[in-house]
Amino acid sequence: MKTRISLCIFFLFCMSSFVSAGEYSGGVQAQIVLKTKNTSNGHHVAYLKTDSAEVTVMTVELPPGAETGWHIHPVPVYAYVLSGTLTIEMEGKKASIFQVGDAIIEGINTRHCGINSGDVPVKLVVFYTGAQDLPNVIRTPAP
């Protein structure tokens, strides 16, 4: 139930990127969380060209001290931080820090590692906009 509530909140935040409060009625409030043309590594946002699109929505939790391990995403990935502070180290780039309420637009095919260096769990809602039979995550060795 808690996950469903979190997903509903996330969808409301996502919808706010595309509409303003004036486009709703009945006292609905909307707030833009993030509106960008670039991914977290500075590349332009890109979408897959496929006839077999598949969206996977997950919750991910990293306990204090945990790491995702180095990996890439061959598909567009979007995340929303529900709790904690996540540091993302990217190959050849300065690390980025994301906190509660931040939206993350991950880079495609960019090696990176998520780290919880805080003392509370990092909780994320993650949207993989991929394709059938295409992995969302590919593990890689550390750079």
Count of residues in the chain: 143
Domain ranges of the chain: 34-139
Single-letter residue type at 140: T
Give the residues across from 61 on adjacent strands: 123
Question: Of residues 7 and 135, which shows the higher confidence score?
Answer: 135
In terms of DSSP bridges, do strands 112-115 and 85-90 run parallel, antiparallel, or are they unpaired?
A: antiparallel
Considering only CA atoms, which of 112, 95, 100 is closest in space to residue 6? 100
| Whole-number Å distance between alpha carbons of 4 and 52 | 26
User: What pTM was computed for the model?
Assistant: 0.80
The residues, any chain, with a CB within 8 Å of residue 133's CB and separated by 6 or more, are 52
pLDDT digits (tens, 9 = 90+) for 80-112: 999 999 999 999 999 999 999 999 999 899 999
Instruction: Report residue 57 as tokens.
Output: 């929505």
pLDDT digits (tens, 9 = 90+) for 36-72: 999 888 889 989 999 999 999 999 999 999 999 999 9
pLDDT digits (tens, 9 = 90+) for 16-37: 445 555 677 788 888 889 999 9
Q: Where are the beta strands (DSSP E) in 2-131?
A: 53-62, 71-72, 77-83, 85-90, 96-99, 103-106, 112-115, 122-131
Single-letter residue type at 104: I
- pLDDT at residue number 26: 83
**The CATH classification of domain 34-139, taken from the options 3.30.70.600, 2.60.120.10, 2.60.260.20, 2.60.40.420:** 2.60.120.10
